[in-house]
Amino acid sequence: MADKGNDPFAVWQTMLGEMEKGFNAFANQAMTSPEFSKTMNQASGATAGAQKQLSEVMEKYLVGMNMPSRAQMVDMAARLQSIEAQLGEIKTLLVQGQGSAGAQTTGPATPRPPRTKRPPDSSGEQK
Q: What is the pLDDT of residues 89-98, one digit of tens each?
A: 999 999 998 8
CA distance 58 to 45: 20
Question: Do residues 56 and 41 both lie within one domain?
Answer: yes
CA distance 61 to 49: 18
CA distance 29 to 23: 10
Residue 28 falls within a domain, yes or no? Answer: yes
**CB under 8 Å to 36, separation ≥6 — which residues?**
30
- Across the chain, mean pLDDT equals 85
Rg, the chain, Cα only: 42
Question: Do residues 72 and 54 both lie within one domain?
Answer: no
Question: Do residues 88 and 54 both lie within one domain?
Answer: no
- Domain residues for the domain of 55 are 9-66
| Domains in the chain, number | 2
Query: Is it the case that residue 60 has pLDDT exceeding 80?
Result: yes
